[in-house]
Amino acid sequence: MDKYIGTLLGGRYEILDILGIGGMAIVYKARCRVLNRYVAIKMLKEEFLQDEEFRRRFYNESQAVAKLSHNNIVAVYDVARTDTQDYIVMELIDGISLKEYLQKKGHLSWQETVFFAQQIAKGLSHAHSRGIIHQDIKPHNIMLLRDGTVKVTDFGIARLESNQETRVVQEAIGSVHYIAPEQAKGSSIDARADLYSLGVVMYEMLTGKLPFEGDSAVAIVMQHINSIPEMPSKVMAGVPRGMDDIVMHAMCPNVTRRYASAQELYQDLERIKQNPHTVFGYAAHDSRGDAALFDETRTIGASNNSYQQPMQQQVYRQPQRQQPYQQQRQQQPRPQQRQEYAPKRQQNHQSSNSSNNNRRKKKNNSSMLVAGAIVAIIAVIALVAGGMMLINGGSDNKELVTVPNFLGQDIDTILSKQNTDYADFKIVEAPKREYNSSYKEGEVIRQDPTANKQVEKGSTITLTVCGSEDDEEEESYKLIDFSNMELEEVERLLRQNGLEGSYKIVEESSDTVEKGYVIRTSPSKGTEVTSDDEITIYVSTGKKVETVKVPKVTGMTLDSAKSLLTSYGLEIGQTINEENDSPVGQVFKQSVSENTEVEKGTKIDLYVSTGKQEEQQPQNPDDGESGNNNNTTPQTGTAKVSVALPDSESCKVVIYLGTQKLAEQTFSPAGGTQTIEVTGPIGEQMLDIYIDGNKTSNTYTFN
């Protein structure tokens, strides 16, 4: 059982279990008693604790990594150093590695590849802007959360591992499948080495295969340098041509022709996501050859064994990227077929003496190149087997000098000694200072080439200097065109770029943009924003809905109510006749209250009064006449009812005797006095007369 399990680290971290063991550290699962959360702790192995210089660099670089704060990078909570321990406290990830995911699925669709690769690129972009190079990007170091979020792990740790003289052979062989050619050689590297590794990861995601396989690490590295892998679209059907361009451009062995930044790679992925037919035209410029080991136009032997017969010279051209990014993409024509760069043919034959001279010169050059190739192979063997120092240099007779260690020294002091102590070098300060809490302002935090490296006399040494905390620039993000994208996708992109709290959503109607899709943003596309800026996202609610306030129709006749509602653009629903104290024929209730704002075309139900039903008085059985008249028909007569009509287009008159309707008549146009003859029981009768729902009563004689 591990001696740390069950112990309390730093007075707060309870060690629970081992999560994994690497070449230089052991990772434990622990619980933080102070914040009551589970964490991962990466603890330096005991064999490294004897090297004070290594421990110092481990601590300083770990602190630098701890300052990284990005949604796609595993968070570092704490860095600690005691007399007997060095450890890093990190976010505990609930998920699986990309390697495990690929083993389950075999390969991924190009859309899923873009989804994961963009997140990796954003994490790398953030780290590179802080001067941190990962140096070991591979599926094993990429974690996938349950919600699809990508977390890149081991930032900054790979840099330390790669500088050690001993490494676990299995780890080296695992990483060599993804290693950049310049990194394998032992040359100075920059952020573009991570982009090469990401290109290999994308290749593996798309095809389920690695671009290069071999029996040994050396064989694999030599393929990285000289071989051309099959295009992903040739290995796996359905991969767009544009994805071929992106992957092969990221994997270009010549670092000067590779993507210049992770942000540039991200933008190309964004373009192909929005238009799968996009073609970038990189493939013709990214042919492999001698770019990583030698100068661009040198020759190498055709045979790996003898190096005696030189190949004809290859010519490469750098893609022109001087136009604005968007414009340049639009102007590039779609190639009819993939271009291949053939060896340059000689146009003019020289004399035999001249040819002999050229062959002698080429032979000498070939000998020099053999030495360079041997250097590269030795460097890879050192990476794999360990215990050997990286050998750097050529076969020429130029004087080599050792690079001093400038870390932690004051830049002004160094520059003052340029012509005395450091006359063998040209020392320059990097154009941008970077804040680092482990150093004082003005001290060197990074140098290129690194200390103790053998370089040619007169080489340039670039020193990155610590700036003030106030100078630390917040990472910015250039807004792309979000119009006609789903709001959910736009929010995901903003969260992915650390802008989750920087936007607000405003809804508005649109006749052209579908509901739930983005109309525009403020600020607009192309604007550089940070987490301090507010972004307004205007989202479509669909076509504009015209509304109207419902008028009051109670107290009106049914016809008048219908006419008024129709004039407002409303429709008539059901007409319901009910007993009510209101006059007969009058609307006493409407289904939607007055002044309620509704969409035009809404149906309104109307309730119309039938009056109050009067109770019938039972006949008196003792009434003498009733007994005599039980079987007689009551006598009826007529009466002429005079009605004064209002001046209007039409008017409706209804006459009732009790609950019995005697007459109903509509006059159009209305106005003046009209006479209506009605039939009823002989004698004087009280009649109720409704004129457009307004009641009057009068007595009339029927005879």
Residue 493 domain-assigned (yes or no): yes
Residue 590 has a pLDDT of 95
Whether 128 and 231 map to the same domain: the answer is yes
Contacting residues for 530 by C-beta, under 8 A, at least 6 apart: 474, 475, 476, 477, 502
* Phi and psi at residue 151, to the nearest 5°: -125, 120
Contacting residues for 369 by C-beta, under 8 A, at least 6 apart: 290, 293, 294, 298, 299, 300, 301, 307
Query: Is 244 part of the annotated catalytic residue set?
Result: no
Residue 362 domain-assigned (yes or no): no
CA–CA distances in Å: residue 411 to residues 43, 335, 415, 444, 449? 33, 51, 6, 6, 16
Per residue in 69-101, pLDDT (tens digit) is 899 999 888 888 887 888 999 999 888 999 999
Q: Which residue has the higher pLDDT, 226 or 615?
A: 226
Q: Measuring CA to CA, which residue among 652, 657, 653 is closest to residue 688?
A: 657
* Residue matched to tokens 């008196």: 620
DSSP 8-class letter at 532: T
Residue 467 sits in a domain of what CATH number? 3.30.10.20
Whether 647 and 531 map to the same domain: the answer is no
Asked whether 107 and 207 are in contact (CB, 8 A), the reply is yes
Whether 568 and 497 map to the same domain: the answer is no
Question: Which of these three, 91, 118, 151, is where a domain ends?
Answer: 91
Residue 304 domain-assigned (yes or no): no
Q: What is the pTM of this model?
A: 0.46
Pairing between strand 25-32 and 37-44?
antiparallel
Residue 460 has a pLDDT of 87
Per residue in 338-383, pLDDT (tens digit) is 333 333 333 333 444 444 444 444 444 444 444 444 445 545 544 4
Whether 438 and 536 map to the same domain: the answer is no
Whether 278 and 148 map to the same domain: the answer is yes
Check pLDDT > 90 for residue 267.
yes
Whether 199 and 76 map to the same domain: the answer is no
Question: Which of these three, 255, 270, 296, is where a domain ends?
Answer: 296
Per residue in 420-435, pLDDT (tens digit) is 999 999 898 887 788 8
Residue 240 domain-assigned (yes or no): yes
Whether 67 and 166 map to the same domain: the answer is no
Whether 71 and 201 map to the same domain: the answer is no
- Segment 242-255 shows an average pLDDT of 93
Whether 286 and 424 map to the same domain: the answer is no
Question: Which of these three, 241, 275, 296, is where a domain ends?
Answer: 296
Residue 570 has a pLDDT of 94
Residue-range definition of the domain harbouring residue 536: 484-540
Whether 423 and 515 map to the same domain: the answer is no
Q: Which of 136, 245, 286, 688 is catalytic?
A: 136
- How many domains does the chain fold into? 6
Q: What is the mean pLDDT of the chain?
A: 78
| Residues comprising the chain, all counted | 703
Residue 356 domain-assigned (yes or no): no
DSSP SS3 for 299: coil
Whether 115 and 263 map to the same domain: the answer is yes
Residue 560 domain-assigned (yes or no): yes
Q: Cβ atoms within 10 A of the Cβ of 303, count? A: 10
Whether 457 and 570 map to the same domain: the answer is no
Q: What are 343-348's contacts with CB under 8 Å, separation 24+?
A: 343/311, 343/312, 343/313, 343/314, 344/312, 344/313, 344/314, 344/315, 345/312, 346/312
Asked whether 572 and 551 are in contact (CB, 8 A), the reply is no
